[in-house]
Amino acid sequence: MTAEYQVHGQTAVITLQNPPVNGLGFSTRQGIVAGVTRALDDDAIKAIVITGAGKAFSGGADIREFNKPAATAAPNLLNVIAVLEASSKPIVAAMHSVAMGGGLELAMGCHFRVVQSGTQIALPEVKLGILPGAGGTQRLPRLIGVEPALNMIVSGSTVPAEKLAKTALFDEIVETDVVKAALAFAERAVASNLPLKKARDIKIKFATAEGFFQFARNMVAAAAKNYPAPLKCVDAVEASVTKPFDEGMRIEREAFTYLVQTTESKALRHAFFGERAASKIPDIPEDTPTRPIRSAAVIGAGTMGGGIAMNFANAGIPVTVLEMKSEALEKGLAVVRKNYENSMKKGKLTPEKFAERVGLIKGSLAYQDIRDADIVIEAVFEDLAVKEQVFKQLDEVMRSGAILASNTSTLDVDKIAAFTRRPEDVIGTHFFSPANVMKLLEVVRGKKTGKDVLATVMQLSKKIKKTGVVSGVCDGFIGNRMIEQYSRQAGFLLEEGALPQQVDKAVERFGFAMGPFRMGDLAGNDVGWYIRKRRYVEKPNIVYSKTADLLCELGRFGQKTGAGWYDYKPGDRTAYPSEVVNEMIIAHSKTLGVTRRKISDDEIVERLVFALVNEGAHILEEGIALRASDIDMVYLTGYGFPIYRGGPMFYADTVGLPNVILAMHRYARQRHGDAWKPAPLLEKLAAEGKTFN
């Protein structure tokens, strides 16, 4: 049993011992009940303190147990809390570090709570697509008030304990040594015969309930249209006001049981674990020594270079941006400054932080100025010859031990490494635009990249608040290699009968942040054009729709030229369907001899998403991605894939891999069959009744 029992004078201390965060798994729950029972049976014991070992009081229910028998096996968390509440001896929670979800619910089932200042308090269940399921929606409103409780439960956000110091949630707040303070509190409770408080007994008075909850529902509905959990949170908190405690508990329970089975919740939990799994690399132990990163340099002050530099400054790391010409440097630094100014105007950055961040970014025109940086990231034009020049130069000037990184999005990192005499120090760090905003960082491991270099960059990705995902070397790495298949299908759909606005709408209704054509207009259609021209030479067998090339030949590169797949008005980013483009598309079908047909939204979504899945399966099989969830993290954090669908590979699992294959065969029979040959791994898993994740 993963809870320890110790006696201090007349008080029993039960310490949760379930690393890493004292999740309330089956054996921990058993341990708590056993401890309380033992204390109650021992006449020498007058009070009980419950705390957690290590770095948390408790992070809540053990998410790894969800949808498994252990999650509901008795004693479940409700049973445990009932035992605490009914105890005839005072029970004091000694809370520190983290008290979240079921952990907070456990504490709210105790008679008294002593908390260490700085403890992170939250009911974050909504972020996992569920709601607090062990009384949180009923007890928190009673202890801190309806409105603050609703805010915490609907947002899942974390509140530091001191902000709640004046509420009935805490009986005492201390700076250090919370267990000692809780022991002293327990002794006082016994000596003074303090009445044993039960949160359930608190009567809530809230005169304006009806209007308040209606307002809350309206607010929540708009923000959470694809998630059932937030509205269920409102229902449950409302019940805390309008219904007796036990009835409120029943309503909470029903909602929890429903939500925990939903695909949305499974997808969100998949993303939670996927994010953490991505930082683990099988052949690189967690204790691998890393290189200190105290300073950085970025080559290129373009949009990418500037955004990358901001990441370092935001993390407090001084960074020098190198450019060849002073105009380009000044222009780049001005953009960075403007970005920070905008954040300050929106109140997201204090004037002090603004000054600090701007102060951490310096510009330079000379390689000599960056020679001592611990890491340098090249973000110059995407052309191997240009990269060669830069890396040869870096090899000359950079101090030994510096990490040499390239922000290339498609080029061969091994070739780039070979431009230097220190390939072990070279790595790919592929940021996504805008680099200061997007969470994804594809970390490209070259054949010779040193293990310590990879470990350092993965650690750095956390420091600069990115989701680092390791990719092997291949054309496009994980994300862009897959998106190419998606884009190819988008192009074929135009030839066969769809128009850009229909494709975009269908994909956006599926949940993507942006459809492929609006995305192309935002990123610049010339980028893909440039890459395709290279492909036509390197891989002449791959068939692409020519529609995108025709568009570029018209100079319609997207928002930056005021026209792309859509028309734009000056100063307005709204995409207006374009007659010129639509006519061009229809004329092109004619040239190809293709009879246009009505294409359903379902077909559009399936073709785009299954094209991602099939390429993802190749990538997994080739070992370019370490695990299916890494691919999902790339798409969730870098490509606007809807998080409630869990990423392309998870989505394919929920559709059923045999169904994915059946659809692929169907599309293969229609046109361009070679694009639909199922990856061997996909076929194998489907045949074995298995899934990617």
Site track for ligand 3H9 across 271-310, x = CB under 6 A: --x--x----------------------------------
* Angle, CA of 307, 465 and 422, to the nearest 5°: 70
Smallest separation, CB 102 to ligand 3H9 (Å): 3
The distance of Cα 419 from the centroid of its chain, to the nearest Å, equals: 35
Q: How far apart are the C-alpha atoms of 679 and 626, rounded to whole Å?
A: 17
| Measured distance CA(156)–CA(220) in Å, rounded | 13
Query: Least distance in Å: CB of 19 to ligand 3H9?
Result: 8
Q: Which of residues 380-399 bind ligand 3H9 (CB under 6 A)?
A: none
Which residues, numbered 657-686, are part of the site for ligand 3H9 (CB under 6 A)?
A: none
User: Looking at the annotation, which residues are catalytic?
Assistant: 105, 125
CB of 219 to ligand 3H9, least distance (A): 23
Maximum Cα–Cα distance across the chain: 93
| SS3 readout for 258-315 | HHCCCHHHHHHHHHHHHHHHCCCECCECCCCCCCCCCCEEEECCCHHHHHHHHHHHHC
**Of the two residues 29 and 46, which places its CB atom closer to ligand 3H9 in the complex?**
29
Nearer to ligand 3H9, 67 or 389 (CB): 67
Helix (H, G, I), strand (E, B) or coil at 587: helix
Give the CA radius of gyration of the chain.
Answer: 29
Instruction: Give residue 503's Cα distance to chain centre.
Output: 26
Our CB check for ligand 3H9 shows the closer of 237 and 360 to be 237
Residues 6+ away with beta carbon under 8 Å from 205: none
Nearer to ligand 3H9, 184 or 277 (CB): 277
Within 8 A by CB and 6+ apart from 22, the residues are 16, 28, 52, 53, 54, 56, 57, 58, 59, 103
Choose between 77 and 249: whose C-beta lies nearer to ligand 3H9: 77
Enumerate residues 590-629 that contact ligand 3H9 by CB under 6 A.
none
C-beta of 444: minimal distance to ligand 3H9 in Å? 23
Task: State the minimum distance, in angstroms, from the CB of residue 35 to ligand 3H9.
Answer: 19
Residue number with CB closer to ligand 3H9 (132 or 638)? 132
Opening angle at CA 62, ends 230 and 441, nearest 5:
70
What minimum distance in Å lies between the beta carbon of 424 and ligand 3H9?
28
CA distance 56 to 203: 31
Stretch that binds ligand 3H9, among 19-27, 179-187, 213-221, 319-327 (CB under 6 A): 19-27
- Tell me which residues in 127-186 interact with ligand 3H9 (CB under 6 A): 128, 132-134, 136
SS3 113: strand
Taking CB under 6 A as the criterion, which residues in 37-96 touch ligand 3H9?
56, 59-64, 77
Contacting range for ligand 3H9; rule: CB under 6 A; set: 17-25, 220-228, 240-248, 306-314: 17-25
- Which of 31, 102, 423, 520 lies at the binding interface for ligand 3H9 (CB under 6 A)? 102
Alpha carbon of 566 to those of 100, 358, 585: distances in Å?
47, 37, 12
Closer residue to ligand 3H9, CB minimum distance, 135 or 564: 135
Question: Which listed range, 37-45, 101-109, 556-564, 598-606, lies at the site for ligand 3H9 (CB under 6 A)?
Answer: 101-109
Residues of span 526-585 touching ligand 3H9 by CB under 6 A:
none
The least CB distance from residue 204 to ligand 3H9, in Å, is 20
Q: Cα–Cα distances in Å, from 219 out to 148, 206, 229, 612?
A: 15, 19, 14, 35
Among 101, 84, 105, 96, residue whose Cα is nearest residue 172: 96
Min CB(563)–ligand 3H9 separation in Å: 45
Round to the nearest angstrom and report the end-to-end CA distance of the chain: 30
The enclosing H or E element of 7 equals: strand 3-8
Size of the site for ligand 3H9 (CB under 6 A): 25
**For 373, left (φ over 0), alpha (ψ -120 to 50), or beta?**
beta
Q: Name the residue with the smallest CB distance to ligand 3H9.
A: 101
Residues 323-382 that bind ligand 3H9 (CB under 6 A): none
Rounded distance between C-alpha atoms, residue 361 and residue 178, angstroms:
42
Phi-psi region of 316 (alpha: psi -120 to 50; beta: other; left: phi over 0): left
| Type and span of the H or E element at 360 | helix 351-360
Q: In the window 108-137, what residues touch ligand 3H9 (CB under 6 A)? A: 124-125, 128, 132-134, 136
Please answer whether residues 541 and 579 qualify as being in contact, where contact means their C-beta atoms are separated by less than 8 angstroms.
no
Could you tell me which stretch among 18-26, 79-87, 146-154, 685-693 binds ligand 3H9 (CB under 6 A)?
18-26
Complex with ligand 3H9: residue 285 or 656, whichever CB lies closer: 285
Amino acid residing at 552: C
Q: Whose Cβ is closer to ligand 3H9: residue 20's or residue 160's?
A: 20
Rounded least distance, CB 356 to ligand 3H9, Å = 24
Q: Name which of 56 and 140 has its Cβ closer to ligand 3H9.
A: 56
56-67 burial: b if 16+ Cβ within 10 Å, else e: bbbbbbbbebbe
What dihedral angle (degrees, nearest 10) is formed by the CA atoms of 85, 87, 88, 93?
-80
Looking at beta carbons only, is 120 or 406 nearer to ligand 3H9?
Answer: 120
Which one of 100-108, 145-153, 232-240, 394-402 is the stretch in contact with ligand 3H9 (CB under 6 A)? 100-108
Residues 6+ apart with CB under 8 A from 276: none
Q: List binders of ligand 3H9 among 254-273 (CB under 6 A).
A: 273
Examine residue 21 and tell whether it contacts ligand 3H9 (CB under 6 A): yes
Smallest distance, ligand 3H9 to C-beta of residue 150, A: 16
- What's the closest the beta carbon of residue 269 comes to ligand 3H9, in angstroms? 9
Smaller CB separation from ligand 3H9, 132 or 306 = 132
Binding residues for ligand 3H9 restricted to 181-240, rule: CB under 6 A: none
Backbone phi and psi for residue 45, each to the nearest 5 degrees, phi listed first = -90, 130
Alpha-carbon span 267 to 288, nearest angstrom? 31
Question: Which residues inside 446-475 make contact with ligand 3H9, applying CB under 6 A?
Answer: none
Q: Select the residue interacting with ligand 3H9 from 98, 319, 417, 473 (CB under 6 A).
A: 98
Please name which of 555, 493, 480, 492 lies closest in space to residue 525, comparing C-alpha atoms. Answer: 555
Q: Shortest gap between Cβ of 268 and ligand 3H9 (angstroms)?
A: 10
Note the residues at the interface with ligand 3H9 (CB under 6 A).
20-21, 23, 56, 59-64, 77, 98, 100-102, 105, 124-125, 128, 132-134, 136, 273, 276
